[in-house]
Structure 1
Amino acid sequence: MVQYRPHTTVVLAMSADGKIADYKRSPARFGSGADKAHLEKQIAASDAVLFGAGTLRAYGTTLTVSQPILLQHRIQKGKPAQPVHIVISHSADLNPEIKFFQQPIKRWLLTTKAGAISWQERLDQKKGVPLTTMKNEVQEYPPKFEQILVFETPIGTIDTLAALQHLASLHITRLAVLGGGELVASMLESDLIDEIWLTVCPLILGGAAAPTPVGGKGFLSQLAPRLELLEVQTVEQEVFLHYRLQRP
């Protein structure tokens, strides 16, 4: 049975040896201007973008749509200038003072009940106000996160499928996933990815501890997700690979 959810595309840049960051997990700024423009184009084509807390901690910000032609296309289609930016985090262990929270975007948090309470306690420590009672549903806590989405499985993990179905009910039809590897792995395992864009950048990072586009436990070769190559573009020293997930 096909579950109604947004069309979901992963967009990542990696080194020639398949690393999305160095062994210290520093912010991956090795992509060219062409790669950044490509990423911005994918973000502009989406109704929302999703990324893990580790990715947010590494950068402290998110990439917004700034190219005038992309902004114009969104406005012409009746969309807001920026897509919704959604952070997914089990613990919601985030610093409310990073620059991300001052960017001119709508910010949502996808978390567990414990994560939502932890985040509210963190804000209350800043504000000195009583803790708010949490429910297992969408909550609003301006100005840091406009919405807190709590979708939890019986074992206390984030129910990503239920969350994506909820996003679809909010007319979010296209979702871009911007990392990291653990999030991509879990979504592949749950068959929640439709397309993948990979930019291969001309450097070698190496390191057993350096993260890759797909983390987690990994897949046995006979059970691995299979891809169909849709497009290959070469721009100067970078290669842009566009794949579609194969399904029966």
Structure 2
Amino acid sequence: MQRPYVLLSCAMSVDGHIDDTTPERLLLSNVHDFDRVEQVRAESDAILIGATTMRRDNPRLLVNSEARRAQRAAQGLPPYPLKVTVTNSGDLDPTLKFWHHGGDKVVYCPDSATTKLRDSLGDLAQVVGLGPTVDFGRMLDDLGRRGIKRLMVEGGGTIHTQFLTQGLADEIHLAIAPIFVGDPNAPRFVNPGDFPGGTGHRMALAEVRAVDDVVLLRYLPKQPSGSKTS
């Protein structure tokens, strides 16, 4: 059994924020970058977001392009990637859009929250307990057993931090938007943490690309700066 390749995807402002503190979601990407993100979704076997992002943004997380869904079907894949979320509390509203669009869904949680989630979600999703706490390694093992080879992680900051501090991310897509948020209380791409190698580890830069007024940076966290990338 092999764990999936983990790709973290995030759009952020020049000053490192992924949103502001207003009730409306801050749109950082442009039309062409949103299309790029959908292409990455279509190439993934599963998409993961955290419970906080679900509550705040209420996303559907779909592959909207009929052509891309048809291409997945031609490859023997379901039209939509598996949708995955992670929660510690088990407080997930069953009316959120996440549950009612796309294909299959899986929720990972501590064992203590499984009964609560199964009662509230019913047949909307499969609920999987990961032990006393949410163990990201065990989660990846379970996804690997489900045949997931490529996992796209779309946030939020707490989830990205967990994958990076535990050395579980294989690739990062950072879309840098040409704006400043300037609010110290606004969420960031990552939170404070103990990152492998600390400031002595410089990641390999795999690609730099302009997407209209957004700049896409692709980093490979497990590879050192200067290493050859494909």
Common fold, TM-score beyond 0.5? yes
One-letter amino acid of the counterpart of residue 137, structure 2: L
Say if 1:148 and 1:215 are closer, same or farther in 2 by CA, change over 3 A.
Answer: same
Q: Does 1:97 align with 2:76?
A: no
Structure 1 residues 219 and 207, CA gap change in structure 2 (3 angstroms): farther
**How far does residue 102 in structure 1 lie from its aligned partner after superposition?**
1.8
AA aligned to 1:148 is V
CA deviations 1:19-70 (Å, max 9, x no partner) are 0011347523232111211111111111001110011111212220122332
Indicate if the aligned counterparts of 1:113 and 1:150 stay in contact, CA closer than 8 A.
yes
Partner Cα distance (1:224, 1:90) in 2 = 32
- 1:1-248 equivalence runs, <5 A: 4-24=2-22, 26-122=24-120, 141-142=122-123, 144-145=124-125, 147-152=126-131, 156-217=132-193, 219=195, 222=198, 226-247=202-223
TM-score, normalised with respect to structure 2: 0.89
Q: Given residue 192 of structure 1, which amino acid in structure 2 is its aligned partner? A: L
Aligned-partner Cα distance in 2 for 1:87–1:95: 13
Q: What residue in structure 2 maps to residue 130 of structure 1?
A: none
SS of alignment partner, residue 90 of structure 1: coil
RMSD of equivalent CA atoms: 2.1
Q: Deviations over 1:188-236 (max 9, x none)?
A: 1111100000111111112211111112435498456532111111122
- Structure with larger Rg: 1
In structure 1, the gaps of 5 or more residues are: 124-140
Tell me if structure 1 keeps the 8 A contact 2:52–2:156: yes
Alignment coverage as a number of residue pairs: 224
Partner SS for 1:54:
helix
Is the Cα contact below 8 Å between 1:25 and 1:211 reproduced in 2? Answer: no
Contact 2:13 / 2:179 at 8 angstroms: preserved in 1? yes
Which ranges in structure 2 are unaligned for 5 or more consecutive residues?
225-230
| Cα distance in structure 2, aligned partners of 1:157 and 1:27 | 30
Q: What amino acid is the match of 2:136?
A: T
Residues 148-192 of structure 1: per-residue CA shift (max 9 Å, x gap): 11112xxx2201101101111111000000001111111111111
8 Å Cα contact 2:166-2:195 kept in structure 1 = no
Change (3 A) 1:181 1:198: same
Kindly indicate whether the alpha-carbon contact (under 8 Å) linking 1:198 and 1:242 is maintained by their aligned counterparts in 2. Answer: yes
TM-score relative to the length of structure 1: 0.83
- One-letter code of the match for 1:72? A
Q: Distance in 1 between matches of 2:148 and 2:90?
A: 23
